[in-house]
Structure 1
């Protein structure tokens, strides 16, 4: 589960990591205290390059840019909130993250003095400027363990203990919150020597919900009310199936034919017309969706119910490119409903996937 930046920074503050002064809003503001940065709160990468981070020096300029962002979408995700923060006097930008290295089966700390850009870009152009530090998951990680390596990256004697302390606290978040990723990019060193998390990314392990209170987070609250399993991905083809295995196979076949899945959506067994409608509407919330692949093997699920749900949604979204493979209970009735409404249905998931990719090319 991904957290919004403002949620990540709330956790940073709880752990004593300095963050810029700021506030979250979904409307114009009455005052600002000096130049500000206005950041769209969307769960996509590359937000800045996509126009989701703007700067303003005056209240009038800030409100214009707040409205601009609130009336926009960033990579297909509608902007509902913006984070307004003080503009920092930046001297240096660093990169910091903690992830799991699955090959080494250990937490991996990544740090670079080349922050503010994609870490992949740094790894390609200046790999020597990336610190890779493995933490023994059975042991204890303390700030002193990494200070010597930070010196090798060119940090000053005043900067090293401050940066090491932030790295320690980020690792504590990673460990105690059951995170799969904690990232700060950029971790800013200001002109007056402060070390501040100017951005924040946290991904939490969904399987840790039983020992973590996720109810405070937006995405958890949204997911909890969904009558199906839904995982958002970075592609542009919605994938809907019934059953986890079939939905995963549907994603694989889309990839096989050159597509890129935008989600995993499993409507489960016995899904009603209403659940099918909600599932398709959920997929189509994203403006970057180019097409939808629906793959149903009906047992207790009924093909006619699925077909009615599809038809009802397409009345509101007539231009959606859709490919359907449906077999099983009430298959003939379901086929008839789709064909009468101008929606083609294929006999195999391979043919349905191929046809959708052809429509999108």
Structure 2
């Protein structure tokens, strides 16, 4: 479960991390009022679960009432990488001289948490890791003992942080790790930690992702879950009991197993397409679940074509095919091309049953993905 920035900032502030003054707003007038209360200049920041908000026009600085009103009118209601912006964070602007990166996640290769510090903050950390991996200092942590203060100081010094702020940044690193550990988080990061002109370290951004399987022992975060849900599709996924992640492509993907879906995502990318989602409908493919899955994918305006990757195990392929037919027959018109690949028990029988007036049937996954990418490209060019 990913928190919105404003939610994560609340958690940060309660933990003692230095954050700019801010207020949440959902209307232009609320934005103006918040800016007046905070004092200019302010930043108006779209609250959506996407990266690169600034480059996409989702973050704007304002020096006065006219500018903040213009920023609010521009951002509220905008489509930001497929998400409609319904709320913004109005925040005190920070006069900074440097931007750093601090983050904690699990290094599954090492089987330990890893603390990361870099002097190259304020940009996509994945891009930094790719282009200049030595710019990110990594300090692994024994979870039995936690992050020792000397490890936080070492990571900061190894990253080349200026000595006059190194102590403050080390405290931030320590607190971020403790938050990660106490919150059952999968990821906590601040990008950037801004060093102000007064040589203070401030958490100018906030990212927190909580392990959903641990929410039963994190009641405060469980209460935030519904509010953190990004949009109607994610809310539907929760209602339907699907594992769903919205992406920024145009190829809708439905499968009955996480491994099948991940493989399909990789192949869509390999054949030049862009996945629009990860959608695992779980075991079997009964008509109701298929209908719900199609409802979700068809509701995504970015989707131009859909691929089903279904493996018939305990649920046989002929039963799966009947479920897909029944689901599609409920639509007066199929709004987007649908390609189906069936494998496993009674797959051949299932392919015979599938209504080829409603779907395109492919025997191989490679063929199904290639056909879907072709359909998506054709639809996207129209």
TM-score range, shorter chain: 0.7 to 0.9
Q: CA deviation at 1:186?
A: 0.7
Q: Deviations over 1:268-302 (max 9, x none)?
A: 45656554343223234544434321234464955
1:324 aligns with 2:332: no
Correspondence for 2:224: 216
2:98 aligns with 92
Report if the CA contact (8 A) 1:291-1:321 is conserved.
Answer: yes
Q: What is the aligned partner in structure 2 of residue 355 from structure 1? A: 371
Does residue 361 of structure 2 align to residue 345 of structure 1? yes
Shift of 1:311: 5.4
2:212 equivalent to 1:206? yes
| CA displacement at 1:37 relative to structure 2 | 0.8
Change (3 A) 1:210 1:355: same
> How well do the aligned residues superpose, as a CA RMSD in angstroms?
3.2
Q: Equivalent residue for 2:71? A: 65
Equivalence map 1:22-171=2 (5 Å): 22-28=22-28, 29=30, 30-31=32-33, 32=35, 33-123=39-129, 127-151=133-157, 153-171=159-177
Give the equivalent residue in structure 2 for 1:11: 11
In structure 1, runs of 5+ residues without a counterpart are: none
Once the 2 structures are TM-superposed, how far is the Cα of residue 87 of structure 1 from its aligned partner?
0.8
Q: Is the 8 A contact 1:228 1:266 kept in 2?
A: no
Asked if the contact 1:77/1:287 (under 8 Å) is kept, the reply is: no
SS in 2 for 1:210: helix
For 1:144 and 1:302, how far apart are their aligned partners in 2? Answer: 57
Change (3 A) 1:60 1:152: same
Tell me, yes or no, if the aligned pair for 1:228 and 1:265 is still in contact at 8 Å.
no
Decide which moves more: 224-233 or 97-106.
224-233
Query: Could you tell me the TM-score, scaled by structure 1's length?
Result: 0.84
Pair 1:68–1:310, CA change in 2 (3 A): farther
User: Structure 1 residues 164, 243: closer, same or farther in 2, change over 3 A?
Assistant: closer
Greater fraction helix = 2
**Deviation digits for residues 211-250 of structure 1 (CA, Å, limit 9, x no counterpart):** 3232312239937742132231545222112344544554
Number of residue pairs matched? 356
Aligned equivalents of 2:372 and 2:215: distance in 1?
A: 36
Change (3 A) 1:268 1:129: closer
> Cα offset for 1:188?
0.9
- Counterparts of 1:59 and 1:301, CA distance in 2: 62
Taking structure 1 as reference, are residues 305 and 154 closer, same or farther at Cα in structure 2, changes over 3 Å only? Answer: closer
Structure 1 position 335 matched with structure 2 position 354: yes
Partner-residue secondary structure (3-state), 1:164: helix
Measure, in 2, the Cα distance between the counterparts of 1:41 and 1:269.
34
TM-score when scaled to structure 2? 0.80
